[in-house]
Structure 1
Amino acid sequence: MKKGTGSCFGTFGELAQGEMDGHPFLFTLPVPLKSQAVFVPDRFAGVRSRSSKSKIIRAAELALAKLGKKTGGCLYISSQIPVSKGMASSSADITAAVRAVASSFGTHFTGADISSIAAAIEPTDGVMYEGINALNQKNGELLQSYFRLPELFLIGYDSGGILNTHDYYLMKREYSAAEKAEMQLVYDQMHHGLISGNTADILLAATKSAVINDRFFPKPFFSLFTEIASQFEAGVVVGHSGTVIGLLLDKNDLFLPKKVKEIKRMIQLETGWTPIITGTILDGEK
Protein backbone atom coordinates (compact mmCIF):
# COMPACT_ATOMS: atom_id res chain seq x y z
CA MET A 1 0.00 0.00 0.00
CA LYS A 2 1.22 3.48 -0.84
CA LYS A 3 -0.06 7.02 -1.23
CA GLY A 4 -2.14 7.35 -4.38
CA THR A 5 -3.03 10.44 -6.38
CA GLY A 6 -5.75 11.23 -8.87
CA SER A 7 -6.99 14.25 -10.76
CA CYS A 8 -9.79 15.24 -13.11
CA PHE A 9 -10.79 18.31 -15.07
CA GLY A 10 -14.15 20.03 -14.83
CA THR A 11 -16.48 21.39 -17.47
CA PHE A 12 -18.21 24.61 -18.37
CA GLY A 13 -21.82 23.52 -18.41
CA GLU A 14 -22.50 21.26 -21.35
CA LEU A 15 -22.24 21.54 -25.11
CA ALA A 16 -25.77 20.15 -25.20
CA GLN A 17 -28.16 18.29 -22.93
CA GLY A 18 -31.62 16.84 -23.24
CA GLU A 19 -33.41 13.58 -23.80
CA MET A 20 -33.93 11.32 -26.79
CA ASP A 21 -36.57 8.59 -26.92
CA GLY A 22 -37.13 9.17 -23.22
CA HIS A 23 -33.47 8.71 -22.32
CA PRO A 24 -31.24 11.59 -21.10
CA PHE A 25 -28.02 12.67 -22.78
CA LEU A 26 -25.36 15.30 -22.36
CA PHE A 27 -22.30 16.33 -24.35
CA THR A 28 -19.36 17.38 -22.18
CA LEU A 29 -17.48 20.67 -22.54
CA PRO A 30 -14.17 20.08 -20.70
CA VAL A 31 -12.14 23.03 -19.43
CA PRO A 32 -8.71 23.15 -17.71
CA LEU A 33 -9.89 23.57 -14.12
CA LYS A 34 -8.83 20.62 -12.02
CA SER A 35 -9.85 18.62 -8.96
CA GLN A 36 -7.02 16.71 -7.27
CA ALA A 37 -7.16 13.93 -4.69
CA VAL A 38 -4.69 12.04 -2.51
CA PHE A 39 -5.54 8.73 -0.82
CA VAL A 40 -3.37 7.30 1.94
CA PRO A 41 -4.46 3.72 2.77
CA ASP A 42 -4.10 2.32 6.26
CA ARG A 43 -5.28 -0.67 8.29
CA PHE A 44 -8.17 1.11 9.97
CA ALA A 45 -11.74 0.59 8.78
CA GLY A 46 -13.50 3.21 6.73
CA VAL A 47 -12.50 6.22 4.67
CA ARG A 48 -11.85 9.46 6.50
CA SER A 49 -11.49 13.00 5.17
CA ARG A 50 -11.20 16.52 6.49
CA SER A 51 -13.46 17.59 3.64
CA SER A 52 -17.17 18.06 4.19
CA LYS A 53 -17.82 16.50 0.77
CA SER A 54 -19.54 13.23 1.69
CA LYS A 55 -19.75 12.15 -1.95
CA ILE A 56 -15.99 11.70 -2.24
CA ILE A 57 -15.93 9.47 0.83
CA ARG A 58 -18.68 7.33 -0.66
CA ALA A 59 -16.80 7.21 -3.98
CA ALA A 60 -13.61 6.06 -2.25
CA GLU A 61 -15.54 3.41 -0.33
CA LEU A 62 -17.12 2.10 -3.53
CA ALA A 63 -13.72 2.09 -5.24
CA LEU A 64 -12.21 0.04 -2.40
CA ALA A 65 -15.11 -2.40 -2.58
CA LYS A 66 -14.69 -2.73 -6.34
CA LEU A 67 -11.02 -3.58 -5.77
CA GLY A 68 -11.98 -6.11 -3.12
CA LYS A 69 -10.07 -4.23 -0.41
CA LYS A 70 -11.17 -4.24 3.22
CA THR A 71 -8.75 -1.53 4.31
CA GLY A 72 -9.59 2.13 4.82
CA GLY A 73 -7.59 5.30 4.58
CA CYS A 74 -7.43 9.07 4.57
CA LEU A 75 -8.66 11.03 1.57
CA TYR A 76 -7.57 14.58 0.76
CA ILE A 77 -9.19 16.71 -1.95
CA SER A 78 -8.49 20.14 -3.43
CA SER A 79 -10.20 21.75 -6.38
CA GLN A 80 -10.08 24.79 -8.64
CA ILE A 81 -13.64 24.14 -9.85
CA PRO A 82 -16.44 26.40 -8.53
CA VAL A 83 -19.18 24.48 -6.68
CA SER A 84 -22.91 24.44 -7.54
CA LYS A 85 -22.34 26.32 -10.79
CA GLY A 86 -22.78 23.55 -13.37
CA MET A 87 -19.06 22.91 -13.86
CA ALA A 88 -19.00 19.22 -12.90
CA SER A 89 -17.30 19.89 -9.56
CA SER A 90 -18.83 16.82 -7.91
CA SER A 91 -18.16 14.53 -10.87
CA ALA A 92 -14.56 15.73 -11.00
CA ASP A 93 -14.11 15.27 -7.24
CA ILE A 94 -15.54 11.75 -7.41
CA THR A 95 -13.38 10.83 -10.40
CA ALA A 96 -10.23 12.21 -8.77
CA ALA A 97 -10.98 10.34 -5.54
CA VAL A 98 -11.58 7.01 -7.31
CA ARG A 99 -8.39 7.43 -9.34
CA ALA A 100 -6.43 8.18 -6.16
CA VAL A 101 -7.71 4.98 -4.53
CA ALA A 102 -6.78 2.92 -7.57
CA SER A 103 -3.36 4.57 -7.73
CA SER A 104 -2.64 3.66 -4.12
CA PHE A 105 -2.95 -0.02 -5.02
CA GLY A 106 -0.95 0.27 -8.23
CA THR A 107 -3.90 -0.17 -10.57
CA HIS A 108 -6.43 1.94 -12.45
CA PHE A 109 -10.11 2.02 -13.31
CA THR A 110 -11.53 2.41 -16.79
CA GLY A 111 -13.83 5.30 -17.61
CA ALA A 112 -16.76 2.88 -17.47
CA ASP A 113 -15.70 1.69 -13.99
CA ILE A 114 -15.56 5.24 -12.66
CA SER A 115 -18.78 6.22 -14.40
CA SER A 116 -20.68 3.35 -12.75
CA ILE A 117 -19.36 4.40 -9.34
CA ALA A 118 -20.24 8.05 -9.96
CA ALA A 119 -23.76 7.27 -11.23
CA ALA A 120 -24.41 5.17 -8.11
CA ILE A 121 -23.90 8.34 -6.07
CA GLU A 122 -25.65 10.97 -8.25
CA PRO A 123 -26.26 11.90 -11.90
CA THR A 124 -22.82 12.36 -13.41
CA ASP A 125 -20.98 14.27 -16.07
CA GLY A 126 -18.64 12.38 -18.41
CA VAL A 127 -15.39 13.83 -17.05
CA MET A 128 -13.93 10.37 -16.40
CA TYR A 129 -13.64 9.78 -20.15
CA GLU A 130 -11.06 11.29 -22.48
CA GLY A 131 -12.00 14.14 -24.80
CA ILE A 132 -15.59 15.14 -25.47
CA ASN A 133 -18.27 12.52 -25.05
CA ALA A 134 -22.00 11.95 -25.01
CA LEU A 135 -23.26 10.29 -21.85
CA ASN A 136 -26.48 9.18 -20.18
CA GLN A 137 -25.95 11.21 -17.03
CA LYS A 138 -28.39 9.21 -14.91
CA ASN A 139 -26.91 5.74 -15.35
CA GLY A 140 -23.41 6.72 -16.53
CA GLU A 141 -23.68 4.88 -19.86
CA LEU A 142 -21.25 6.17 -22.48
CA LEU A 143 -23.14 6.88 -25.69
CA GLN A 144 -20.29 8.12 -27.87
CA SER A 145 -16.70 9.33 -27.55
CA TYR A 146 -15.20 12.04 -29.76
CA PHE A 147 -11.44 12.20 -30.00
CA ARG A 148 -11.25 14.86 -32.70
CA LEU A 149 -11.59 17.84 -30.43
CA PRO A 150 -12.96 20.99 -32.06
CA GLU A 151 -10.89 24.16 -31.78
CA LEU A 152 -13.24 26.32 -29.75
CA PHE A 153 -12.71 29.50 -27.76
CA LEU A 154 -14.86 30.08 -24.67
CA ILE A 155 -15.92 33.30 -22.96
CA GLY A 156 -17.67 32.06 -19.82
CA TYR A 157 -19.65 33.84 -17.11
CA ASP A 158 -21.39 33.02 -13.86
CA SER A 159 -24.94 34.36 -13.89
CA GLY A 160 -25.12 34.22 -10.08
CA GLY A 161 -26.60 32.03 -7.39
CA ILE A 162 -26.14 28.29 -6.89
CA LEU A 163 -27.96 25.16 -8.01
CA ASN A 164 -27.90 21.75 -6.37
CA THR A 165 -27.57 19.13 -9.10
CA HIS A 166 -29.50 16.53 -7.11
CA ASP A 167 -32.43 18.92 -6.64
CA TYR A 168 -32.33 19.82 -10.33
CA TYR A 169 -32.77 16.21 -11.42
CA LEU A 170 -35.77 15.86 -9.10
CA MET A 171 -37.52 18.67 -10.97
CA LYS A 172 -40.29 17.41 -13.24
CA ARG A 173 -39.83 18.60 -16.82
CA GLU A 174 -42.52 18.06 -19.43
CA TYR A 175 -41.08 18.58 -22.90
CA SER A 176 -43.46 19.45 -25.70
CA ALA A 177 -43.56 17.34 -28.85
CA ALA A 178 -41.74 20.14 -30.68
CA GLU A 179 -39.01 20.25 -28.01
CA LYS A 180 -38.56 16.49 -28.17
CA ALA A 181 -38.15 16.68 -31.93
CA GLU A 182 -35.71 19.58 -31.54
CA MET A 183 -33.62 17.65 -29.01
CA GLN A 184 -33.30 14.79 -31.49
CA LEU A 185 -32.04 17.31 -34.05
CA VAL A 186 -29.66 18.78 -31.44
CA TYR A 187 -28.16 15.36 -30.75
CA ASP A 188 -27.78 14.55 -34.44
CA GLN A 189 -26.32 17.95 -35.32
CA MET A 190 -23.87 17.91 -32.40
CA HIS A 191 -22.83 14.35 -33.21
CA HIS A 192 -22.25 15.22 -36.87
CA GLY A 193 -20.35 18.38 -35.96
CA LEU A 194 -18.03 16.55 -33.57
CA ILE A 195 -17.44 13.64 -35.97
CA SER A 196 -16.79 15.84 -39.00
CA GLY A 197 -15.11 18.78 -37.29
CA ASN A 198 -17.87 21.13 -38.48
CA THR A 199 -17.63 23.95 -35.94
CA ALA A 200 -20.75 25.71 -37.26
CA ASP A 201 -22.90 22.64 -36.50
CA ILE A 202 -21.44 22.42 -32.97
CA LEU A 203 -22.18 26.07 -32.24
CA LEU A 204 -25.72 25.91 -33.65
CA ALA A 205 -26.56 22.73 -31.74
CA ALA A 206 -25.23 24.22 -28.51
CA THR A 207 -27.43 27.30 -28.92
CA LYS A 208 -30.54 25.22 -29.70
CA SER A 209 -29.96 23.15 -26.57
CA ALA A 210 -29.48 26.27 -24.44
CA VAL A 211 -32.72 27.76 -25.80
CA ILE A 212 -34.73 24.66 -24.86
CA ASN A 213 -33.21 24.59 -21.38
CA ASP A 214 -33.96 28.27 -20.76
CA ARG A 215 -37.68 27.50 -20.44
CA PHE A 216 -36.95 25.27 -17.45
CA PHE A 217 -34.00 27.05 -15.86
CA PRO A 218 -33.80 30.60 -17.24
CA LYS A 219 -30.55 32.56 -17.06
CA PRO A 220 -30.37 36.34 -16.58
CA PHE A 221 -29.66 38.19 -19.84
CA PHE A 222 -30.15 35.01 -21.88
CA SER A 223 -31.58 36.96 -24.83
CA LEU A 224 -28.48 39.18 -24.83
CA PHE A 225 -26.27 36.11 -25.26
CA THR A 226 -28.40 34.72 -28.10
CA GLU A 227 -28.34 38.09 -29.86
CA ILE A 228 -24.55 38.33 -29.52
CA ALA A 229 -24.17 34.74 -30.71
CA SER A 230 -26.15 35.54 -33.85
CA GLN A 231 -24.17 38.72 -34.49
CA PHE A 232 -20.73 37.16 -34.01
CA GLU A 233 -21.27 33.63 -35.38
CA ALA A 234 -20.93 32.15 -31.91
CA GLY A 235 -22.75 29.50 -29.92
CA VAL A 236 -24.44 29.88 -26.54
CA VAL A 237 -23.46 27.34 -23.88
CA VAL A 238 -25.05 27.02 -20.45
CA GLY A 239 -24.96 24.93 -17.34
CA HIS A 240 -28.18 23.02 -17.94
CA SER A 241 -28.08 22.14 -14.24
CA GLY A 242 -26.07 25.16 -13.15
CA THR A 243 -25.68 28.92 -13.28
CA VAL A 244 -22.94 29.40 -15.89
CA ILE A 245 -23.55 30.86 -19.33
CA GLY A 246 -21.06 31.63 -22.07
CA LEU A 247 -20.25 32.01 -25.73
CA LEU A 248 -18.23 29.64 -27.88
CA LEU A 249 -16.39 30.85 -30.97
CA ASP A 250 -14.26 29.24 -33.64
CA LYS A 251 -10.67 29.48 -32.44
CA ASN A 252 -9.50 29.73 -36.07
CA ASP A 253 -11.67 32.73 -36.88
CA LEU A 254 -9.35 35.40 -38.32
CA PHE A 255 -11.32 38.08 -36.48
CA LEU A 256 -11.36 36.23 -33.14
CA PRO A 257 -9.34 38.80 -31.09
CA LYS A 258 -11.59 41.66 -32.23
CA LYS A 259 -14.74 39.60 -31.61
CA VAL A 260 -13.65 38.60 -28.12
CA LYS A 261 -12.83 42.18 -27.18
CA GLU A 262 -16.16 43.49 -28.46
CA ILE A 263 -18.20 40.67 -26.88
CA LYS A 264 -16.60 41.29 -23.50
CA ARG A 265 -17.30 45.01 -23.84
CA MET A 266 -20.96 44.47 -24.75
CA ILE A 267 -21.62 42.01 -21.93
CA GLN A 268 -19.80 44.18 -19.37
CA LEU A 269 -21.84 47.19 -20.46
CA GLU A 270 -25.21 45.41 -20.23
CA THR A 271 -24.66 43.13 -17.23
CA GLY A 272 -21.63 44.37 -15.29
CA TRP A 273 -20.22 40.83 -15.47
CA THR A 274 -16.62 39.87 -16.07
CA PRO A 275 -15.69 36.42 -17.41
CA ILE A 276 -14.79 33.68 -14.97
CA ILE A 277 -12.98 31.79 -17.73
CA THR A 278 -11.64 32.84 -21.12
CA GLY A 279 -9.66 30.69 -23.51
CA THR A 280 -9.64 27.46 -25.43
CA ILE A 281 -11.47 24.41 -24.15
CA LEU A 282 -9.44 21.54 -22.77
CA ASP A 283 -7.28 20.04 -25.51
CA GLY A 284 -5.02 17.76 -23.49
CA GLU A 285 -5.30 14.55 -21.50
CA LYS A 286 -7.81 14.62 -18.68
Structure 2
Amino acid sequence: MRRVRVETPGTCGEYIQGWYDGNPCLVSSPIDRYSRITIAEGPGNLETLKPKTRKQVEAVLRRFAIPQREKEHLHFTMTSDIPLEKGMASSTADIAGMAAGLSAYFGLDLTQADIGSLCTGIEPSDNLMFERLNLFNHISGSVLKEFDGTVEADILIIDFHGGIDTMTFNETQDDYSPDDLATFAEIVAQFEKGVRTKSLKDIGAACTKSALLNQKRLKKNYLDCLISLSRDFGGLGTVIGHSGTVIGVMYDSGDFQQDRFLRAVRQVVPESAYAELYQNRLIPGGIKITTDAV
Protein backbone atom coordinates (compact mmCIF):
# COMPACT_ATOMS: atom_id res chain seq x y z
CA MET A 1 0.00 0.00 0.00
CA ARG A 2 1.17 3.52 -0.71
CA ARG A 3 1.03 6.38 1.75
CA VAL A 4 1.50 10.09 1.10
CA ARG A 5 2.39 12.60 3.78
CA VAL A 6 1.94 16.31 3.13
CA GLU A 7 3.19 19.33 5.06
CA THR A 8 1.89 22.78 4.03
CA PRO A 9 2.86 26.06 5.70
CA GLY A 10 0.48 28.61 7.10
CA THR A 11 1.21 32.32 6.97
CA CYS A 12 1.34 35.48 9.04
CA GLY A 13 -1.15 36.98 6.64
CA GLU A 14 0.41 38.68 3.64
CA TYR A 15 3.53 40.69 2.98
CA ILE A 16 1.45 42.95 0.75
CA GLN A 17 -2.13 42.94 -0.54
CA GLY A 18 -4.11 45.31 -2.76
CA TRP A 19 -5.05 45.94 -6.41
CA TYR A 20 -2.51 45.92 -9.25
CA ASP A 21 -3.19 46.31 -12.99
CA GLY A 22 -6.89 45.92 -12.34
CA ASN A 23 -6.51 42.75 -10.28
CA PRO A 24 -6.96 41.98 -6.60
CA CYS A 25 -3.71 40.43 -5.47
CA LEU A 26 -1.44 39.47 -2.61
CA VAL A 27 1.90 38.01 -1.64
CA SER A 28 1.54 35.55 1.22
CA SER A 29 4.08 35.39 4.05
CA PRO A 30 4.67 31.66 4.80
CA ILE A 31 5.79 30.71 8.30
CA ASP A 32 6.87 27.52 10.06
CA ARG A 33 3.39 26.49 11.19
CA TYR A 34 1.85 23.65 9.26
CA SER A 35 -1.17 21.74 8.13
CA ARG A 36 -0.28 18.03 7.93
CA ILE A 37 -2.20 15.46 5.91
CA THR A 38 -1.70 11.74 5.44
CA ILE A 39 -3.44 9.91 2.59
CA ALA A 40 -3.36 6.12 2.58
CA GLU A 41 -5.38 3.17 1.39
CA GLY A 42 -7.89 2.16 4.05
CA PRO A 43 -11.47 2.60 5.22
CA GLY A 44 -12.94 5.59 3.38
CA ASN A 45 -13.54 8.57 5.67
CA LEU A 46 -14.15 11.46 3.27
CA GLU A 47 -17.21 12.53 5.25
CA THR A 48 -15.03 13.34 8.29
CA LEU A 49 -13.10 16.09 6.49
CA LYS A 50 -13.84 19.80 6.82
CA PRO A 51 -16.32 20.97 4.14
CA LYS A 52 -13.78 22.96 2.07
CA THR A 53 -11.24 20.15 2.19
CA ARG A 54 -13.90 17.64 1.16
CA LYS A 55 -14.81 19.91 -1.78
CA GLN A 56 -11.16 19.88 -2.84
CA VAL A 57 -11.05 16.09 -2.82
CA GLU A 58 -14.19 15.96 -4.95
CA ALA A 59 -12.82 18.59 -7.35
CA VAL A 60 -9.55 16.73 -7.94
CA LEU A 61 -11.19 13.34 -8.35
CA ARG A 62 -13.77 14.79 -10.73
CA ARG A 63 -11.15 16.64 -12.81
CA PHE A 64 -9.19 13.44 -13.39
CA ALA A 65 -12.20 11.11 -13.61
CA ILE A 66 -10.90 8.92 -10.77
CA PRO A 67 -13.37 6.08 -10.19
CA GLN A 68 -15.75 6.08 -7.24
CA ARG A 69 -14.25 2.85 -5.91
CA GLU A 70 -10.89 4.61 -5.45
CA LYS A 71 -12.53 7.36 -3.37
CA GLU A 72 -14.14 4.77 -1.15
CA HIS A 73 -10.71 3.41 -0.20
CA LEU A 74 -9.00 6.70 0.66
CA HIS A 75 -8.26 7.22 4.33
CA PHE A 76 -7.30 10.73 5.45
CA THR A 77 -5.61 11.94 8.62
CA MET A 78 -5.32 15.70 9.19
CA THR A 79 -3.73 17.82 11.91
CA SER A 80 -2.78 21.50 12.00
CA ASP A 81 -1.05 24.00 14.26
CA ILE A 82 -2.35 26.98 12.26
CA PRO A 83 -4.95 29.04 14.18
CA LEU A 84 -8.35 29.39 12.48
CA GLU A 85 -9.96 32.60 11.16
CA LYS A 86 -6.91 34.73 11.97
CA GLY A 87 -5.65 35.43 8.46
CA MET A 88 -2.99 32.73 8.80
CA ALA A 89 -4.12 30.67 5.79
CA SER A 90 -5.43 27.69 7.72
CA SER A 91 -8.01 26.88 5.02
CA THR A 92 -5.63 27.39 2.10
CA ALA A 93 -3.01 25.19 3.76
CA ASP A 94 -5.58 22.41 4.13
CA ILE A 95 -7.00 22.54 0.61
CA ALA A 96 -3.65 23.15 -1.11
CA GLY A 97 -2.08 20.30 0.84
CA MET A 98 -4.96 18.01 -0.07
CA ALA A 99 -4.62 18.78 -3.79
CA ALA A 100 -0.86 18.19 -3.65
CA GLY A 101 -1.32 14.97 -1.66
CA LEU A 102 -3.88 13.54 -4.09
CA SER A 103 -1.62 14.49 -6.98
CA ALA A 104 1.22 12.50 -5.44
CA TYR A 105 -1.04 9.59 -4.46
CA PHE A 106 -2.52 9.15 -7.94
CA GLY A 107 0.45 10.44 -9.99
CA LEU A 108 -1.46 13.40 -11.42
CA ASP A 109 1.51 15.77 -11.83
CA LEU A 110 -0.33 18.87 -10.66
CA THR A 111 1.86 21.97 -10.87
CA GLN A 112 2.01 24.67 -8.22
CA ALA A 113 -0.09 26.85 -10.54
CA ASP A 114 -2.64 24.04 -10.95
CA ILE A 115 -2.95 23.78 -7.18
CA GLY A 116 -3.38 27.55 -6.88
CA SER A 117 -6.17 27.45 -9.45
CA LEU A 118 -7.90 24.55 -7.71
CA CYS A 119 -7.78 26.41 -4.39
CA THR A 120 -9.24 29.65 -5.73
CA GLY A 121 -12.03 27.56 -7.28
CA ILE A 122 -13.14 26.90 -3.71
CA GLU A 123 -12.40 30.21 -1.97
CA PRO A 124 -10.06 33.26 -2.15
CA SER A 125 -6.68 31.71 -1.40
CA ASP A 126 -3.13 32.50 -0.37
CA ASN A 127 -0.24 31.60 -2.69
CA LEU A 128 1.73 29.57 -0.17
CA MET A 129 1.81 26.59 -2.57
CA PHE A 130 4.49 28.38 -4.64
CA GLU A 131 8.13 27.91 -3.67
CA ARG A 132 9.06 31.30 -5.11
CA LEU A 133 7.27 34.51 -4.30
CA ASN A 134 4.77 35.92 -6.74
CA LEU A 135 1.99 38.49 -6.92
CA PHE A 136 -1.10 36.31 -7.00
CA ASN A 137 -4.71 37.06 -7.89
CA HIS A 138 -6.29 35.34 -4.92
CA ILE A 139 -9.71 35.33 -6.60
CA SER A 140 -8.87 33.92 -10.05
CA GLY A 141 -5.66 32.03 -9.23
CA SER A 142 -3.56 33.80 -11.89
CA VAL A 143 0.03 34.93 -11.29
CA LEU A 144 0.49 38.62 -12.10
CA LYS A 145 4.21 38.97 -11.40
CA GLU A 146 7.02 36.70 -10.27
CA PHE A 147 9.71 37.85 -7.86
CA ASP A 148 13.32 36.74 -8.02
CA GLY A 149 13.82 35.32 -4.56
CA THR A 150 12.29 34.47 -1.21
CA VAL A 151 12.17 36.02 2.27
CA GLU A 152 13.63 34.50 5.41
CA ALA A 153 13.54 36.28 8.78
CA ASP A 154 12.22 35.87 12.29
CA ILE A 155 8.75 37.13 13.14
CA LEU A 156 6.93 37.79 16.39
CA ILE A 157 3.17 37.42 15.88
CA ILE A 158 0.44 38.89 18.06
CA ASP A 159 -2.80 36.94 17.69
CA PHE A 160 -5.57 39.41 18.54
CA HIS A 161 -8.98 38.20 19.63
CA GLY A 162 -11.73 37.80 17.07
CA GLY A 163 -11.98 36.16 13.68
CA ILE A 164 -12.61 37.25 10.09
CA ASP A 165 -14.68 35.53 7.40
CA THR A 166 -12.34 35.74 4.41
CA MET A 167 -15.12 35.19 1.88
CA THR A 168 -17.14 38.15 3.20
CA PHE A 169 -14.05 40.37 3.45
CA ASN A 170 -13.04 39.78 -0.16
CA GLU A 171 -16.51 40.69 -1.43
CA THR A 172 -15.91 44.29 -0.31
CA GLN A 173 -12.38 44.93 -1.57
CA ASP A 174 -12.95 46.64 -4.92
CA ASP A 175 -13.14 50.23 -3.64
CA TYR A 176 -9.53 51.35 -4.10
CA SER A 177 -9.21 55.03 -5.04
CA PRO A 178 -6.76 56.22 -7.72
CA ASP A 179 -4.43 57.36 -4.94
CA ASP A 180 -4.66 53.93 -3.27
CA LEU A 181 -3.83 52.23 -6.58
CA ALA A 182 -0.80 54.46 -7.10
CA THR A 183 0.36 53.83 -3.54
CA PHE A 184 0.05 50.08 -3.95
CA ALA A 185 2.00 50.15 -7.23
CA GLU A 186 4.82 51.84 -5.30
CA ILE A 187 4.54 49.18 -2.57
CA VAL A 188 4.86 46.40 -5.18
CA ALA A 189 7.92 48.08 -6.69
CA GLN A 190 9.60 48.49 -3.29
CA PHE A 191 8.82 44.90 -2.33
CA GLU A 192 10.16 43.62 -5.65
CA LYS A 193 13.36 45.64 -5.22
CA GLY A 194 13.79 44.32 -1.68
CA VAL A 195 13.41 40.70 -2.75
CA ARG A 196 15.77 41.15 -5.70
CA THR A 197 18.47 42.84 -3.63
CA LYS A 198 17.82 40.69 -0.51
CA SER A 199 17.11 43.86 1.47
CA LEU A 200 14.93 42.95 4.47
CA LYS A 201 14.75 46.68 5.21
CA ASP A 202 13.02 47.41 1.88
CA ILE A 203 10.81 44.34 2.21
CA GLY A 204 9.79 45.35 5.73
CA ALA A 205 9.07 48.92 4.65
CA ALA A 206 6.81 47.70 1.83
CA CYS A 207 4.98 45.39 4.27
CA THR A 208 4.42 48.24 6.72
CA LYS A 209 3.03 50.52 3.99
CA SER A 210 0.66 47.78 2.85
CA ALA A 211 -0.51 47.26 6.43
CA LEU A 212 -1.26 50.98 6.77
CA LEU A 213 -3.08 51.10 3.42
CA ASN A 214 -5.25 48.22 4.60
CA GLN A 215 -6.47 50.24 7.58
CA LYS A 216 -9.13 51.75 5.29
CA ARG A 217 -10.57 48.27 4.79
CA LEU A 218 -10.01 46.42 8.03
CA LYS A 219 -8.80 48.64 10.86
CA LYS A 220 -6.44 47.15 13.44
CA ASN A 221 -6.61 49.11 16.68
CA TYR A 222 -3.00 48.69 17.80
CA LEU A 223 -1.25 48.76 14.43
CA ASP A 224 0.16 52.29 14.66
CA CYS A 225 1.72 51.77 18.08
CA LEU A 226 3.18 48.38 17.08
CA ILE A 227 4.74 49.92 13.98
CA SER A 228 6.27 52.64 16.16
CA LEU A 229 7.57 50.15 18.73
CA SER A 230 8.99 47.93 15.99
CA ARG A 231 11.01 50.88 14.70
CA ASP A 232 12.10 51.88 18.21
CA PHE A 233 13.49 48.44 19.05
CA GLY A 234 15.06 47.37 15.77
CA GLY A 235 12.25 45.59 13.93
CA LEU A 236 12.36 45.38 10.15
CA GLY A 237 8.69 45.93 9.40
CA THR A 238 5.14 44.97 10.21
CA VAL A 239 3.30 42.12 8.47
CA ILE A 240 -0.45 41.71 8.94
CA GLY A 241 -3.33 39.45 8.10
CA HIS A 242 -5.00 41.84 5.66
CA SER A 243 -8.20 39.82 6.01
CA GLY A 244 -7.40 38.61 9.52
CA THR A 245 -6.52 39.64 13.05
CA VAL A 246 -2.78 38.94 13.35
CA ILE A 247 0.00 41.52 13.40
CA GLY A 248 3.60 40.36 13.07
CA VAL A 249 6.91 42.16 13.52
CA MET A 250 9.74 41.02 11.23
CA TYR A 251 13.20 41.14 12.70
CA ASP A 252 16.78 39.99 12.54
CA SER A 253 17.69 38.30 15.82
CA GLY A 254 21.00 40.14 15.96
CA ASP A 255 19.43 43.60 15.83
CA PHE A 256 16.03 43.32 17.52
CA GLN A 257 15.67 44.18 21.20
CA GLN A 258 12.94 41.64 21.77
CA ASP A 259 12.66 41.79 25.56
CA ARG A 260 12.42 45.58 25.57
CA PHE A 261 9.91 45.46 22.71
CA LEU A 262 7.68 43.02 24.58
CA ARG A 263 7.81 45.07 27.78
CA ALA A 264 6.80 48.15 25.81
CA VAL A 265 4.00 46.26 24.07
CA ARG A 266 2.54 45.15 27.40
CA GLN A 267 2.42 48.79 28.50
CA VAL A 268 0.26 49.87 25.54
CA VAL A 269 -1.64 46.73 24.52
CA PRO A 270 -3.85 45.20 27.23
CA GLU A 271 -3.38 41.46 27.68
CA SER A 272 -7.14 41.13 27.28
CA ALA A 273 -6.81 42.31 23.66
CA TYR A 274 -4.88 39.31 22.37
CA ALA A 275 -4.98 35.54 22.70
CA GLU A 276 -1.38 34.49 22.07
CA LEU A 277 2.11 35.59 21.11
CA TYR A 278 3.80 33.34 18.57
CA GLN A 279 7.50 33.15 17.80
CA ASN A 280 7.93 31.94 14.23
CA ARG A 281 10.13 32.06 11.19
CA LEU A 282 9.30 33.51 7.77
CA ILE A 283 10.20 30.79 5.27
CA PRO A 284 9.99 30.08 1.54
CA GLY A 285 6.65 28.69 0.45
CA GLY A 286 5.94 25.33 -1.11
CA ILE A 287 4.40 22.02 -0.09
CA LYS A 288 6.54 19.17 1.19
CA ILE A 289 5.47 15.67 0.12
CA THR A 290 6.80 12.31 1.27
CA THR A 291 5.66 9.10 -0.38
CA ASP A 292 6.32 5.65 1.02
CA ALA A 293 4.91 2.13 1.20
CA VAL A 294 3.18 0.66 4.25
After TM superposition, the score normalised by the length of structure 2 is 0.87
Whole-Å Cα distance in 1 between the matches of residues 286 and 265 of structure 2? 32
1:148-182 per-residue CA deviation (whole Å, 9 max, x = no partner) reads 33342211111210001111111254222221110
Out of 60, 63, 66, the position equivalent to 1:63 is 60
The answer to whether 1:142 aligns with 2:143 is yes
The amino acid of 1:84's aligned partner reads E
Uncovered stretches (5+) of structure 2, i.e. residues with no partner: 288-294
What one-letter code is carried by the residue in structure 1 that aligns with 2:266? Q
Deviations 1:170-221 (CA, angstroms, capped at 9, x unpaired)? 1254222221110110111111111111222111110110001012101121
Q: Distance in 1 between matches of 2:98 and 2:197?
A: 34
* Paired residues of 1:234 and 1:247 also in contact (CA < 8 A): yes
Q: Distance in 2 between matches of 1:166 and 1:85?
A: 13
Compare 164-173 and 117-126 and name the one that shifted more.
164-173
User: How far 1:132 moved relative to its partner?
Assistant: 3.0
Q: Distance in 1 between matches of 2:17 and 2:173?
A: 16
The residue that corresponds to 2:292 in the other structure is none
Whole-Å Cα distance in 2 between the matches of residues 199 and 142 of structure 1? 23
- Counterpart CA distance in 1 for 2:194 and 2:280 is 21
- For residues 211-250 of structure 1, the aligned pairs below 5 Å read 211-231=212-232, 232-250=234-252
CA distance in 2, matches of 1:6, 1:222: 34
**Distance in 1, Cα, partners of 2:175 & 2:181:** 10
Output the amino acid matched with 2:267. L
Q: Is the 8 A contact 1:85 1:158 kept in 2?
A: yes
Query: 3-state DSSP class of the match of 2:110?
Result: coil
Q: Equivalents in 1 of 2:63, 2:174: separation in Å?
A: 35
Aligned to 1:99: 100
| 1:13 maps to 2:10 | no
Structure 1: any 5+ residue segments left out of the alignment?
Answer: none
1:54 aligns with 2:55: no
- Letter of the structure 2 residue corresponding to residue 246 of structure 1: G
Q: Which residue of 1 aligns with 2:81?
A: 80
Return the letter of the residue paired with 2:239: V
Check whether the contact 2:240–2:248 (CA below 8 A) recurs between aligned residues: yes
Aligned residues: 279
Distance, in Å, in 2 between the alignment partners of 1:276 and 1:142 is 32
Are 2:4 and 1:4 aligned? Answer: yes
Report the Cα offset of residue 283 of structure 1: 4.8
Cα deviation 1:131-151 (Å, max 9, x = unaligned): 433211111112344463334
| Equivalent residue, structure 2, for 1:23 | 23
Q: CA deviation at 1:21?
A: 2.5
Name the structure 1 match of 2:260. 262
Stretch deviating more after TM superposition (128-137 or 78-87): 128-137
Task: Please state how far the C-alpha of 1:276 moved relative to its aligned partner.
Answer: 3.0
The one of the two structures with greater contact order (alpha-carbon pairs below 8 A, sep at least 6) is 2
What residue in structure 1 maps to residue 182 of structure 2?
Answer: 181
1:275, 1:109 → 2: CA distance? Answer: 36
Q: Percent identity?
A: 28
CA distance in 2, matches of 1:192, 1:220: 30
For residues 268 and 104 of structure 1, do their structure 2 counterparts lie closer, same or farther at Cα, with a shift above 3 Å needed? Answer: same
RMSD of aligned alpha carbons:
2.3
Q: Which range is displaced more, 143-152 or 168-177? A: 143-152
CA distance in 1, matches of 2:173, 2:24: 13
Partners of 1:5 and 1:101 within 8 A in 2: no
Assess, with a 3 A threshold, how the Cα gap between structure 1 residues 82 and 274 changes in structure 2: closer, same or farther: closer
- CA 1:42 to 1:64, structure 2 compared with 1: closer, same or farther past 3 Å? farther
